[in-house]
Structures are given as C-alpha cells and as structure tokens.
Structure 1
Amino acid sequence: MEINVTDAAPLQVAEVVFGAEFNENLVHQVVVAYRAAGRAGTKAQLTRSEMSGTTKKFKKQKGGGARHGDYRAPIFVGGGRAFAAKPRSFEQKVNRKMYRGAMRSILAELNRQGRLQVIPGFGIEQPKTQGLAGKLSQLGAAGHVLLVDDSAADALYLAARNLPHVHVVDVAAMNPVSLVGADRVVMTVESVKKIEAWLA
C-alpha cells in the first residue's frame, strides 16, 4: 500500500503494518499494561502489630462498656490499618507478539483517521524553538503532537523542549501510550522504514 508523504512522492509501505485491522481489546490491554508497569507500587501502611506504642490494656475488662485491649486497634483513630497496603508490583504480562500487534493496530488506525503525517525530514539543524514552531504550523500540526525521528538529534529535542504538548521520540522509544494520546503523529520517512522493518 501507499502512504502520502508531505512535499514528496508517496511511499510504499507494508500493508500488514499500516493497514492492519484495528483490535480495540488488544490495544486496551497493552496500553493498560504499559501504564501499570510505570507505577512505583511503593505504598505502605502499618498493621496493628507494626504500630509503635504501648500494648497496655487501657481500662478494666468489665464495667466500662466495650472490652478493649490497646489503642493500636484499627477501630481507634491513629491505630493500625486492618488490611494495610504493602509494596507490590503492578506489572502485567504482555508478550512480544501482543505488543507488536497492538503497535501495528495503533499505527494503522492513526493512518486511517488522518492523524499520521509522514515528512521527508524535520530539517532542524539549530536548537531553535521558533524554527520548529514554524515547521509545525506549516504542517498544520496542533494539539498534542508526537514527533518521531529515526535518530532524534539533540537539536530537535532542544527545539521542542519549550513547546507545550510537543514531544520528540526516536523509533526505539515509541510506545503505545504516547501514540494513542497524540492528536497528530509526525514521523520521517526513515522512521517509517525502521518501523516497517521492526513490525512487518
């Protein structure tokens, strides 16, 4: 299949990558797993046995209403938690075939919706924000914009640093969450070829 390239001839790409059928369930599972893997999972609370303080019985057993042992019980303010949270991993298993399938599905859907734009190159030699802003304005890229470059030179990173909602990644750092959350994905021809070699 062919994919349009701005100010250049159309590019022949593999239909299995940029023309794949959209699998919503697979994309959802991979996106959730990717975000879950980024969670620290370091939340920790104290149980009754881990609380500091005396274990002395604070009143007599009978004649005082309810029977209690010490103030570290969960029913008291400042006491331990009955079911305390402990550090844990939120990681979910996603095998390589599922991840690649989700990436193909996302890229194909972006192409169908007209949110994927391919250009010959960014042409950013100096780390000037004004130059990149002008380039994006010419391309009509607005909102949350993801720039995918095959090499992602420092000049491009620095030029985009002061632009809100504009993010630069190379092909290796491209992930399903950044693709799904972008209003417009702009990538170079070389990036498309690398992605095709990776996912085809």
Structure 2
Amino acid sequence: MKVTVQTLDAQGSGEIELNDAVFGVEPRADILHRVVTWQLEKRRGTARGARERSDVARTGKKFGRQKGGGTARHGDRRAPIFVGGGKAHGPRVRDFNPSLNKKVRALGLKMALSTKAAAGQLIVLDSLDVSEAKTKAVREQLGKLGLGKTALVIDGDALNIGFAQASSNLRQIDLLPAVGANVYDILKHETLVLTRAAVEKLEARFNG
C-alpha cells in the first residue's frame, strides 16, 4: 500500500510503501473489542482493602457477662462498634489485572492501524520539525492537513520537543512516541498521524 507523505504545511514529500502485514490486515470487531477491554481493565486502580472483623488483631475473649451487666451483648472486641474493631462492609481488594495473549494484542494493534488506513484516516508526515515552537503557527499548519475533530500524532523513538511544546495547548491533538502506540487511543481519535520514523518503528516492532 502506497501513501503520500506530506509535510506539516500539507505539501507533498514523496511516497512511502506501507507493509500490508501491518497496515493491510482485515479488521475483526471481536479482536478489537477484546484488546480495548483488556486495556481499560488494566488501567483501573484497585481500592485499598480495609481490615474487617476477621483481620483485626484483638482478643477474642468474651469480656463481659451475657446478662446482668447493663450493656449490650458482645462476644469480643473485634466488633465494628468498638474503637479498633474491624470495618463493617469496607472496601475490598479487587483484581483488575486480566491477561491477554501477546499475539492477540499484536493482532489488535495491526487491525487498528489497518482500520485507519482503509478508512482514509491515516496521514503520514515527513517529520514534526517546526520552524518556531508556537501554538498559533502549529495550529495553522495542522489546519491545512484536515485532521478532523481529534487526531493522534505518533512520532518515532522520542517526541519532537518543539512540536510537543507547541501542541500541548491544543485539546484536539494527542502526541505519543511509537512505543506507546495502542489500540484504544488509535480508535478513539478520528485521524491517525504517523511520521516516517513512526512507520519504521511500528513495522520493525512486528517484524522483529
């Protein structure tokens, strides 16, 4: 698959051949759903578990008479009604650490990239070099590319510092290095923007 490479000023800068094994995979909704669900579950934070009645280190000895003491009946000091007792119905530790095979995760990422390429929502840039790291200038340049409402920009090994600083105030633009490319973020944004370096890294990631 050949795609035209553009500059930030929406000028043509040649073509690039995309690997069909990465950008030409037939998408499957079930695979994409599994990977997105796995991602969202992995990012969930579990609550800190409270010590309940059975977890509190206090005596289990009955501390008063059953009747005749003038107080309510209690068996031990672990009851939630006492200071230092166990928490009643407190938060418990829940496991939000699901597993998913690496092959399925890799296949899901290929399908997400292929989905954007097939829908014409993939833009390849020569680089993210900017003449001046100003938000206004970058906004005007990106406006010429027709990115839509939201766009995910993926660079190579490291982010372009000037572009990152200039685009940090643009709410519709998100920036990631190639190692951070993931299915959820790719599908969530309307347009996917890759640099030449990002394409090389993503293809090497699967071919390596």
Identity over aligned pairs, percent: 25
**Residue correspondence of structure 1 range 1-200 to structure 2 within 5 A:** 1-6=1-6, 7-49=12-54, 80-82=87-89, 84-86=91-93, 88-150=94-156, 151-200=158-207
Shift, 1:89, TM fit: 3.7
Q: Distance in 2 between matches of 1:165 and 1:20?
A: 28
Deviation at 1:40, TM superposition (A): 2.1
2:167 maps to a residue whose letter is A
In structure 2, the CA distance between the partners of 1:134 and 1:82, relative to structure 1 (3 Å rule), is same
How far the C-alpha of 1:68 sits from its partner, in A, is: 8.1
Task: Find runs of 4+ consecutive structure 1 residues off by over 3 angstroms.
Answer: 48-53, 67-70, 79-84
Q: Deviations over 1:123-170 (max 9, x none)?
A: 324321112111110101132211111131211211111111311111
Letter in 1 for 2:177: D
Q: Which amino acid aligns with 1:28?
A: H
**Structure 2: distance between partners of 1:198 and 1:51:** 50
Secondary structure at the aligned position of 1:4 is classed as: strand
State how far apart, in whole Å, the 2-side matches of 1:125 and 1:89 are: 48
TM-score (norm 1): 0.79
**How many residues in Structure 1 have an aligned counterpart in Structure 2?**
196
Q: Give how far 1:47 is off.
A: 2.6
Unpaired segments ≥5 residues, structure 2: 7-11, 68-72, 81-85
Identify unmatched segments of 5+ residues in structure 1: 62-66
1:16 is matched by which residue type in structure 2? A
Task: Name the SS of the counterpart of 1:39 in structure 2.
Answer: coil
Q: Is the partner of 1:146 in helix, strand or coil?
A: strand
Partner amino acid for 1:196? Answer: E
Task: Give 3-state SS (helix, strand or coil) of 1:5's partner.
Answer: strand
Contact 1:136/1:142 (CA < 8 Å) preserved in 2? no
What is the RMSD of the two structures over their aligned residues, measured on CA atoms? 3.3
CA contact (8 A) 1:47 1:81 kept: yes
TM-score for both structures, normalised by structure 2: 0.76
State the distance in 2 between where 1:69 and 1:11 align: 77
